[in-house]
Amino acid sequence: MMGHSARRGAMPLVAGCLFATSAAAQSARPNLQLASAAPPATTDHPEGDVDAGNDTPGYTPAETMPVGGPLHVNGYVDIGYAKAQGDGTSFPSADYAVPADYGVDTFAPAVNSRGDVASTDAGGTFVNGFLPRSVGIRGQPSFLINTVDLDLRYQAPSSPVMIFTRVQFLPRFSGAGDSTRLYVEQAFGRITPFDTHELTLSVGKFDSVFGVEYQDNQANVRTGITPSLSARYTTGTSVGAKVFYRLQIPALASALSLNVAATNSGNMVESLQSPDVSVAGMPVFSGRLGYELNPPVIQLKLGVSGLRGPRNDQRDRDEDQYMWGYDARIFVAGFALAGEYVHVNEDEGVGPKVTALGTFPLASGFHARVFWLQASYTPPLEVGPLRRVSPYARYECRHAWFDGFVPIMVDRITAGLRLDFWDNLIVKGEVLVNRELQGAPTVPNNVYTSSVVYQW
C-alpha cells in the first residue's frame, strides 16, 4: 500500500538501514548518533534459572528438585538511575500530525529491562495506543525501582509436576499520580510425563516461544539493560498451553527442538495486546524450530519462528496478525555473537482497539521489519568479589508503517558494561543513542541508564 519501500524483507531492510545511516550521517546533528538494545544473557545463570522451553537457559524454573525441599523462593530487586534527552519521548515539540504515535517510535527511549520508557506524554496530542509503559520521569534524571520480583517454584516430590509463579511489584509515577502495579508475569503448571524424553506440557501464563530474546526478559539475566526494538513483538508472556520437545543427537553433538503454543495474545507485550483474556475469542498459534551444535570449543544455535492468529486488541476473529523470523547465535572462547530478524503484519481490525493501556478508536493495519545484531565478551576472570566483566554492543534497525500513513525507519546502537560481584550483585551501565533515519522527525531522545540488581 505504501509503495516499494514499505515492502522490505530482511536483506533490503539491512541495505536500507545502512544506506540511510550513511546518508543521515552527512546531515545529522553533531551530538546525534546511533543506538540499540541489550544483548542476550550468557549461559551461566544463577541458581533458579533453567531451560525456558527453548534451546538455551532462560530465567524460568528448574525442572530438578531445588535444594532444601520441594518449595523454592527466589527473585531480585532492580534499582536504576536514568536520564533521557529532551522531554523523555520521541514526540517532536512542534508536530501536530495525528495519531502522534503513528509517526515516531515511542519505544525508543527505554530506560530499563522491561522496556519502560522515560515518558509517553504527547503534550495533549491524540495518540492511538501504540505505546509502551512509562516510568514518568520525562527528561529529568531520577533513581528508579524498576522491578521487585518474587518467584515461587514447587516441584512435587512424587509426581512429574512443577508449579511456578512470578509476581512483580512495579513502582511507577505518572501525570495522574501514583501508578504502581502488582503484575503477574508468569503463573503456570508443567508436566514432564517421561523420564527418558525431553517433553514438557505447560498450561497457564508463560514465556513467549518466538525467537530468543524473551529468554533475557529479566534484569538479572539480561547482559545489558534495555530490550531491542523488536522485543515489543516477541517477548510478551501470555495465557495458554505450550508443548516443548527436544531430541538429542549425541553422535553429531547436536539437538533439535520444537516449541509450540496456543495463547490468548501471541507474543506482543501487554501494553499492545492483553495476554490475560482472549478479546477476539480465538487462540493465537506460535512456534519455534531450533537446531543447536555443541562441540567442545564452539556452540552454534539456529532457529526459525512463526505466529498466526487473530489480533487480540480487537474483537473480529477474522482479522489476523502473522509474524515470522529467524535467529542465530554463536558462542566461542567468551565471545557471543547473536542476531535476529522479525517480520510483522497485522490486518486492519474492527475498532475500537482495546489494550492494557485503555480503549482507542482505531485498529489500523500495521507492518514492521526489524533486525538486530549484537556482540559481547566475557573473559575468564575472578578477582576478589568480581566474578564477571561483560562489555557489549548492539546495532538494530526498525522499518514500520500503519496502513495509510508514512513509513518510518529508525536505528539504534547500544553500548554498555556489566559487572557481576559475588553471586548476588550485578551492576550495569548503558548508553542508547537513537536516530530517526526516514519518515520520523528528528528529536533528542538518547538515553543514559544504569541498573543495580540484587538477586537471591
Query: What's the Cα-to-Cα distance from 295 to each of 52, 198, 249, 299, 300, rounded to whole Å?
Result: 22, 20, 12, 7, 9
Domains and CATH numbers, the chain: 4-455 (2.40.160.10)
- Write b or e for each residue in 293-304: b if 16 or more Cβ atoms lie within 10 A of its Cβ, otherwise e: ebeeeebebebe
Q: What is the mean pLDDT of the chain?
A: 89
143: left (phi over 0), alpha (psi -120 to 50) or beta: beta
Residue 95 has a pLDDT of: 76
Q: What is the pLDDT of residues 221-251, one digit of tens each?
A: 999 999 999 999 999 999 999 999 999 999 9
C-alpha cell at 158: 512424587
Neighbouring C-alpha atoms within 13 Å toward the C-beta of 330: 5
Q: What is the pLDDT of residue 14?
A: 73
Q: Which three cell numbers stand for residue 350?
A: 474492527
Cβ neighbours, 10 Å, residue 444: 15
CB contact set of 298 (below 8 Å; sequence gap of 6+): 330, 331, 332
Amino acid at 197: H
pLDDT score, position 309 = 98
Distance CA 326, CA 304 (A): 4
**Grid cell 530487586 — which residue?**
77
Stated pTM of the model? 0.87
What is the reported pLDDT for 67?
A: 57
Answer positive or negative: Cα dihedral of 447, 171, 270, 129. Answer: negative
For residues 34 and 103, what is the distance between their CA atoms, to the nearest angstrom? Answer: 19
The Cα 416–Cα 58 span in angstroms is 21
Structure confidence at residue 21 (pLDDT): 58
Query: Measured between alpha carbons, how far is 108 from 91 in angstroms, rounded to an integer?
Result: 11
pLDDT in tens, 256-314: 999 999 999 999 999 999 999 999 999 999 999 999 999 999 999 999 999 999 999 99
Torsions phi, psi for 312 (to 5 deg): -95, 25
Q: pLDDT 10s digit of each residue in the chain, 456 long?
A: 344 444 556 767 777 776 665 555 454 443 333 333 333 333 333 333 434 444 443 334 444 445 568 999 999 999 999 999 999 999 998 777 899 999 999 999 999 999 999 999 999 999 999 999 999 999 999 999 999 999 999 998 989 999 999 999 999 988 778 899 999 999 999 999 999 999 999 999 999 999 999 999 999 999 999 999 999 999 999 999 999 999 999 999 999 999 999 999 999 999 999 999 999 999 999 999 999 999 999 999 999 999 999 999 999 999 999 999 999 999 999 999 999 999 999 999 998 999 999 999 999 999 999 999 999 999 998 899 999 999 999 999 999 999 999 999 999 999 999 999 999 999 999 999 999 999 999 999 999 999 999 999
Compute CA distances 222 → 79, 213, 290, 418, 433, whole Å. 14, 9, 21, 10, 19
